[in-house]
Structure 1
Amino acid sequence: MVLSRLVGARVRRKEDPRLITGRATYVDDVRIPGMLYLAFVRSPHPHARIRSINVEQALAMPGVVAVVTGQDLRGILKMTDEIGGEGEDAGTVQEGATSPRMFPMAVDRVRHVGQAVVAVVAESDYQARDAVDAVQVDYETLPAVVDPEAAMQDGAPQLWDELPNNIAMSYDRTRGDVDAAFQNADVVVKQRMINQRLAGVPMEPRGVVAAPDPATGGVTVWSSTQAPHWNRNDIAKNLGLGQNQVRVIAPQVGGGFGVKIGAYAEDFILSGIAYHLQRPVKWIETRSENLMATHQGRAQIADVEVAADGRGKILAYRLNLIQDQGAYPKDTSLGVLTSLVVVGCYDIPAIDLHIRGVCTNTMDVGAYRGAGRPEAAYYIERAIDLIADRTGLDPAEVRRVNFIPPEKFPYTTIVGEIYDSGDYAKALDKALELSGYQQLRQEQAAARQQGRYLGIGLSSYVEICGFGPWESATLRIEPSGAVTVYSGICPQGQGQETVFAQMVADHLGADFDQITVQFGDTATAPQGNGTMGSRGLAVGGGAVMLSIEKIREKLKQIAAAMLEASVDDIELADGRWRVKGAPDKSVTLAQIAAEAYGGTLPADIAPGLETTDFFRPEDETFPFGTHVAVVELMPDTGEVKLLRYVSVDDCGVIMNPMLVEGQVHGGLAQGIAQALLEEVRYDDNGQLLTGTLMDYAVPKATHLPVFETDHTETPTHLNPMGAKGIGEAATIGSTPAVANAVIDALEPLGITHLDMPFTPEKIRTVMQEARP
């Protein structure tokens, strides 16, 4: 694919000036005359019945306008005790899954700490928060369960009557002759692996402003969301309004990472109360609320068993997986998403999968950067290193012998996923070369002679992204030649405003500075599915390209009429539409646009330059790569020093290298942080122990080295750009690379596995216990 003038170049982001100067608008910046403020009474108990609620004192406090209980909310919302899942059709409920009936605010029972019980509405934020303390709730505490394995046992506390043993979903698949493979294997490795629970911690917590709309008789909602159309559709359904009576605006969104997908309870509560009171209402999440009431990620327990021959070639793979769903199963697809890429980059002929989603008295678990795919990569990449350890082979060579060869693409895996394209050995070789892998092994041997604990970790990953089912774009050229693109995606920093403008400038001859790209407003953007799963460019960009191609054809027709030439002889070159072989006969986009709206077009050409198009990809795309981590462990303190980090990622055709690097850097920080730092913890009674950023560790610059990043480029045929997606790739590759490095450093002590996070306390303890 030949890259043109702007596409493929390091173009600075159009978004950045307003962001770095503080001129961007976030939900908390929305100010409306007569605005009220809302604060929540949240449950202090992980499991309890609500005996009674007394709101009289709160109602009598200064500035308080309303105090709304769950029972009151029943009279405001039109829902039948059920809130939508992630999308208007709650499409994340999987085969073998049961979705219990839920309501945005507790009515008679709470099931996790932080669940909303009462909403207090007042003239100021401070008055609302003060009145929260005056609400009296009488609870009858119930037994709680936070361990998903314990929750599955007979006699465990039951969260939902319709979910025996708290099992929300079951998924079992066997492909190939697994038993025979294990019977004939030279090597069998078994390991229990934990993917600890994580918090998304976006820089901007969630927020909602809802206001009545006199024009439609409905509501306008500002929400920090990744999918405004999904929220609009769910809110309209649950308020009993038409979708054209509800407008959802996602202004600037300060980070999402999956935890802002779909409508939350607060979206329904704010919308319903604003509609009921006919006054605007605002709620901005505090950081403590964010850590206990915004859905969390990962939270899996996996028993992995792999059979291999003497060369390290994997013959079969068994996975028993328990996915902690939290109290309200927001997304029952997570365990299944893990299974879709559980074989990673490898040609594995047989597999046995047993997956259970289990409810516990904890906050819901949903999508978090990668959503199931980082977990899958962790299991298979740790298994590869266990095979290498058992056979005495080099971990790089075990990966190489198992890779799907490039001539087999498109390749259907044993679980049925069709990998579009790949050259995994190429990425591995480049990573080994850039890191100086052989030299690193020599340095490691020398360090061990000196009593130092140096570790080298590899990770070769593949991920699934570019999810459909479709995405939309509207492209409009004004009479002046200025261009506006409206897209159904809703980025939170990925840079699509820049890359879509690059595409338009190159393919239409538009002035880059006169291109505006708009997202996040259901009143202006065509129906869309939002930004998640690295679909913004791969699917959203496909819709933009469809619109570009339609407009190109019309531009050629108008230019041909203006230049008195055949349409087939018109080309775009050097930013002008000209006659082939006669560069002096040309017109600009602005001249064509003026003609399109000027009333002198030929009768067979319709006026205007505007189109709306929907792109439906045939399938998902599968980016891949190899990462190398180098660590040193400090026995006296347990500190893990990350000395070097090399990543080679393949996201297909790169539209803007600077944007790719930014996504890789952010993804690496989050993936490395899972390995070394982060964990949401509840005590045995269901109380949250990591409810502030003093308790929940997030990475700082001092934790990370200067990243050494590079890429290979393997295009996909599944969209017009050849782009695969990069938003989650580095997170997926980095966690197992760092984990493998830490375990490799511990190898002289006979330690072959340790569960994340590798905190100094944990590392120091195991080293002190294992050293002579």
Structure 2
Amino acid sequence: MSWIGKAQPRNEDRRLVVGQGRYTDDIDKPGQAWAAFLRSPHAHARIVRIDTAAALALPGVLAVLTGADYQADGFEGIDHVPNPVAAVNHKEKAFLSSETGSIYNRRQWPLSVDKVRHVGEALVMVVAETPHQARDGVEAVQVEYEVLPAVVDADDALAEGAAQLYDDLPRNCCFSTQIGDRAAARAAFENAALVVRREFRNSRIVNAQMEPRSAIGEYDPAADVYELTSGSQGVVRQQLGLAEAFKVPPARIRVISPDVGGGFGPRTSLNMEPACVLWAARRVGRPVKWTGDRSEAFVSDYQGRGMTFRAAMAFDAQGRILAVDNELIGNVGAHTISYVPMANAMRVTTSVYDVPVAAIHVTGVVTNTVPTGPYRGAGRPESMHAFERLLDIAAARLGMDRLEIRRINLIRRETLPRLSPMGLPYDSGDFPANMERVIELADWQGFESRRQEALQRGRLRGIGLSNYIESPVGAPRERIELRILPDGTTDIVSGTQSTGQGHETTFAQVVADHLGVPFESIRLRTGDTAFVKWGGGTHSDRSMRLGGKLLIDASTELMARARAVAAHCLRVDPQRLVREGAGFSARVWWGLRTRRITLAQLASHVQRHGMPGDPGTRELGAEAEFNGRMPAFPTGAAVCEVEIDPETGCIEVVRYSAVDDVGQAINPLIVEGQVHGGLAQGLGQALTEGYHVDRQSGQVLSGSYMDYGMPHAELMPPLRVELTNDPTHGNPLGVKGGGESGITPATACTFNALAHALAAYTDEELPMPATPLAVWEVIHQDRAAQGAH
């Protein structure tokens, strides 16, 4: 029986569903104290004076710490290394140059020192015996601020005379760079029959994981070793960032990530609170724990999106694309956490279409808002949204069918492999077939009858499509260790980190197939730098793509070593051994008898006697490591169908269909769940989720679930999801990745459906999210205009 490709229920589900998961806040350390943070009420202000005397006098308060204290202890700020490695050549950076002269990267102090630069930024930490005493201490701290002008919009931040966040960063511009052939693009635009331009603003997204962030810091003065327990998307990156800031070798910082209730990108980067509790543990001489609440999360968790596309596309009279010339502005927020979303958006800017010439200008801008970082899809949905919306607009202006304009521009399978204009080596993907199949799944041909039926009920109905492609990138280095134990257990140590993706199941499926060991005998260990020597964590569709290759490499090496041990034990030539389940067999005694030996027995022999020729090695195992790029391009298409109540503006997503080429699906059940989860996040961004900040003061207007529209289950429509696979040879398992599939086309096809439903009322772009009020105002423009007067 093959385990790869089997829709196996997840091993971890029972433990998690019955409440036996172990998250950071479930853990308490003997003698621990508690931390709470004083956070800025201002978007931009100079810190004039901090008075901690009253707080220190309160019962139970152990310490009141400031950024000046952190500096006095000789530590550095956190270097987030925002400019990622390139999508193709991992030895280069994604952005190589800037019109400003350099790519800006500024360290972040765990507690603000001179200024606060966004509402919710921490500037004081109180450590006390109980969480309530810590919060009382925070209330007693007195801070004198000099309030400064705030700038929260990226365009405003770039304007002459705008409030400046950093003295060494004129006009708040982190970098500004041109990619592609702009001269050729503009020449194509001059000869075009049609040029379509439009601005698309992707709303800010709050990263609302199931598990609020939490951290426990410990310090052993005898060994001068720190220990951090905190859920994240990978412990090695946390360890390296902390070690660099604390000026100690990485081996002196142990990072543990227990169960993690959701990552989605922002938990890849190091947050400030974990650094603070580690430092505080050293200061007070006991473990220090912090658990954030939802109010804190809305003003301190790294956020997603916040990107503006000014997109332009040129066409000939037959609807063929001649060139793309885009401008992308990324709102980085108050600190330079990550430029990954802009890098990804830039690389996939031509999507799955045959675009002869492309150019894009990318600018990163700091503002007085919560910092942004990668959020599921990280730039790819933003690119797909702009491209697919322009195709619909162009089709309308050319009098063409929306499907036909795509058919004549899609890259044909027979032209692969090829380089995209942005330098991505597309190796596989039947883009036209994916689109035709999703059209069939969605019953596109039957839409008109459904639209007429909706009209009879007084509803407006629209249908929209989006093709998409992704560029799985992420950390280029990964490691797997594989061992057979004498009790028959197969032990995997992986540098990646599950945040709910089912790694305990899918990794076991790969190993069960390649070692022949029982599926239930396999255990996966991650999330602890005590045994995880290296790993890039989970993000960017990388876990199975890189980890799967390494599982195969390590399995192959382990079986070669096991064969040598079996030959030694059975006293036969290794070539006479036959693989048999989880072991070997051989004919001995002149072929009159068959002897068998299992991997567990071989492991027991090695433990007692060592490897043949190497008695110092007492484990039957193998290791594999990878450092580079592994091209794979998940792709697919999605169709969304909506109904709008014109009297209220309420939107109902009535049908949703998707075809996703994720490569080899190790576990289709898990992949489909990933698609569903991504779709929920995409529909949430399209229709309900929007983080609003007052443009003048910088005050947060949607700082809780009362004001922020989290998607509910009722938003999810009936789904028709189908997996397909046009094989890639970029890795031995043929994996492309399924973690981003649901979200990448979601906003594009949803907004195309909304525009189709509202075509009689407007051809202007709806704001994101497209709330009932925004839709109602479009339908009742005259009435809304009269109300404004």
TM-score (norm 2): 0.93
Contact 2:83 2:339 in 1 (8 A): no
Q: Does 1:612 align with 2:614?
A: no
**CA-CA distance at 1:240 after TM superposition:** 2.2
Contact 2:540 2:740 in 1 (8 A): yes
Contact 2:654 2:718 in 1 (8 A): no
Corresponding position of 1:703: 715
Query: 5 Å matches for 1:525-674?
Result: 525-563=532-570, 565-578=572-585, 585-599=595-609, 602-603=612-613, 608-674=619-685
Q: Does 1:76 align with 2:87?
A: no
Corresponding position of 1:22: 19
Secondary structure of the residue aligned to 1:365 is coil
Q: Identify if the C-alpha distance between structure 1 residues 447 and 186 changes in structure 2 by more than 3 Å, giving closer, same or farther.
A: farther
- Give the Cα separation in 1 of the matches to 2:702 and 2:593: 67
Q: Identify if the C-alpha distance between structure 1 residues 603 and 44 changes in structure 2 by more than 3 Å, giving closer, same or farther.
A: closer
Match of 1:95 among 94, 97, 101: 97
- Give the Cα separation in 1 of the matches to 2:726 and 2:532: 32
**CA-CA distance at 1:468 after TM superposition:** 4.2
- Give the Cα separation in 2 of the matches to 1:195 and 1:95: 25
Contact 1:466 1:536 in 2 (8 A): no
Q: Identify if the C-alpha distance between structure 1 residues 101 and 212 changes in structure 2 by more than 3 Å, giving closer, same or farther.
A: closer
Q: Deviations over 1:309-330 (max 9, x none)?
A: 2332111011112111111121
User: Which deviates the most, 520-529 or 540-549?
Assistant: 540-549
Corresponding position of 1:110: 116
Corresponding position of 1:148: 154
- Give the Cα separation in 1 of the matches to 2:84 and 2:312: 38
- Give the Cα separation in 2 of the matches to 1:600 and 1:240: 39
Secondary structure of the residue aligned to 1:51 is strand
- Give the Cα separation in 2 of the matches to 1:218 and 1:469: 28
Match of 2:769 among 747, 757, 771: 757
Contact 1:83 1:104 in 2 (8 A): no
Contact 2:658 2:722 in 1 (8 A): yes
Corresponding position of 2:128: 122
Match of 1:731 among 734, 743, 747: 743
Q: Identify if the C-alpha distance between structure 1 residues 286 and 732 changes in structure 2 by more than 3 Å, giving closer, same or farther.
A: same
**CA-CA distance at 1:432 after TM superposition:** 1.1
Q: Identify if the C-alpha distance between structure 1 residues 441 and 106 changes in structure 2 by more than 3 Å, giving closer, same or farther.
A: same
Query: 5 Å matches for 1:178-193?
Result: 178-193=185-200
Corresponding position of 1:324: 331
Corresponding position of 1:133: 139
Query: 5 Å matches for 1:201-240?
Result: 201-213=208-220, 216-240=223-247
Aligned partner of 1:273: which letter? A
- Give the Cα separation in 1 of the matches to 2:60 and 2:238: 30
Q: Deviations over 1:258-284 (max 9, x none)?
A: 111121121221111112222100111
Contact 1:551 1:610 in 2 (8 A): yes
- Give the Cα separation in 2 of the matches to 1:378 and 1:569: 59
Aligned partner of 2:754: which letter? V
- Give the Cα separation in 2 of the matches to 1:279 and 1:674: 42
Match of 2:469 among 449, 452, 462: 462
User: Which deviates the most, 119-128 or 320-329?
Assistant: 320-329
Match of 2:407 among 400, 410, 419: 400
Aligned partner of 2:164: which letter? Q
Contact 1:551 1:609 in 2 (8 A): yes
- Give the Cα separation in 1 of the matches to 2:704 and 2:93: 33
Corresponding position of 2:375: 368
Q: Identify if the C-alpha distance between structure 1 residues 617 and 445 changes in structure 2 by more than 3 Å, giving closer, same or farther.
A: farther
**CA-CA distance at 1:476 after TM superposition:** 1.3
Match of 2:309 among 302, 311, 319: 302
**CA-CA distance at 1:751 after TM superposition:** 2.7
Q: Does 1:35 align with 2:32?
A: yes
Corresponding position of 2:693: 682
Q: Identify if the C-alpha distance between structure 1 residues 158 and 482 changes in structure 2 by more than 3 Å, giving closer, same or farther.
A: same
**CA-CA distance at 1:446 after TM superposition:** 5.8
**CA-CA distance at 1:560 after TM superposition:** 3.8
List runs of 5+ in structure 2 lacking aligned partners: 86-91, 785-789
User: Which deviates the most, 184-193 or 603-612?
Assistant: 603-612
- Give the Cα separation in 2 of the matches to 1:623 and 1:587: 42
Q: Identify if the C-alpha distance between structure 1 residues 569 and 171 changes in structure 2 by more than 3 Å, giving closer, same or farther.
A: farther
**CA-CA distance at 1:54 after TM superposition:** 0.8
Q: Identify if the C-alpha distance between structure 1 residues 533 and 215 changes in structure 2 by more than 3 Å, giving closer, same or farther.
A: farther
Corresponding position of 1:343: 350
Q: Deviations over 1:379-426 (max 9, x none)?
A: 111111112211222222222211111122222011111123111112
Q: Identify if the C-alpha distance between structure 1 residues 318 and 46 changes in structure 2 by more than 3 Å, giving closer, same or farther.
A: same
Corresponding position of 1:426: 433
Q: Deviations over 1:198-243 (max 9, x none)?
A: 1111111211100113563211100121121111112122222221
Corresponding position of 1:768: 780
TM-score (norm 1): 0.95
- Give the Cα separation in 2 of the matches to 1:21 and 1:346: 47
**CA-CA distance at 1:163 after TM superposition:** 1.2
User: Which deviates the most, 365-374 or 709-718?
Assistant: 709-718
Q: Identify if the C-alpha distance between structure 1 residues 496 and 601 changes in structure 2 by more than 3 Å, giving closer, same or farther.
A: closer
User: Which deviates the most, 570-579 or 418-427?
Assistant: 570-579
User: Which deviates the most, 572-581 or 187-196?
Assistant: 572-581
- Give the Cα separation in 2 of the matches to 1:655 and 1:466: 20
**CA-CA distance at 1:571 after TM superposition:** 4.2
Contact 1:9 1:655 in 2 (8 A): yes
Q: Identify if the C-alpha distance between structure 1 residues 624 and 205 changes in structure 2 by more than 3 Å, giving closer, same or farther.
A: same
Match of 1:718 among 689, 707, 730: 730
Q: Identify if the C-alpha distance between structure 1 residues 538 and 601 changes in structure 2 by more than 3 Å, giving closer, same or farther.
A: closer
What is the number of residues matched between the two proteins? 768
Secondary structure of the residue aligned to 2:440 is helix
Secondary structure of the residue aligned to 1:731 is coil
Q: Does 1:45 align with 2:14?
A: no
Secondary structure of the residue aligned to 2:744 is helix
- Give the Cα separation in 2 of the matches to 1:329 and 1:466: 20
- Give the Cα separation in 1 of the matches to 2:232 and 2:612: 45
- Give the Cα separation in 1 of the matches to 2:281 and 2:82: 23
**CA-CA distance at 1:576 after TM superposition:** 4.8
**CA-CA distance at 1:748 after TM superposition:** 2.2
- Give the Cα separation in 2 of the matches to 1:211 and 1:358: 36
User: Which deviates the most, 289-298 or 167-176?
Assistant: 167-176
Match of 2:521 among 502, 506, 514: 514
Contact 1:169 1:332 in 2 (8 A): no
Secondary structure of the residue aligned to 2:408 is helix
User: Which deviates the most, 463-472 or 740-749?
Assistant: 463-472
Contact 2:664 2:725 in 1 (8 A): yes
Query: 5 Å matches for 1:162-311?
Result: 162-175=168-181, 177-213=184-220, 216-311=223-318
Q: Deviations over 1:574-609 (max 9, x none)?
A: 555345999965433323323333439754896531
Aligned partner of 2:163: which letter? P
- Give the Cα separation in 1 of the matches to 2:628 and 2:439: 34
**CA-CA distance at 1:628 after TM superposition:** 0.7
Q: Deviations over 1:288-344 (max 9, x none)?
A: 111111111111122111111233211101111211111112113432321100111
Secondary structure of the residue aligned to 2:742 is helix
Match of 1:743 among 755, 775, 788: 755
Secondary structure of the residue aligned to 1:730 is coil
Secondary structure of the residue aligned to 1:402 is coil
Aligned partner of 1:588: which letter? T
- Give the Cα separation in 1 of the matches to 2:604 and 2:551: 23
Secondary structure of the residue aligned to 1:669 is helix
List runs of 5+ in structure 1 lacking aligned partners: none
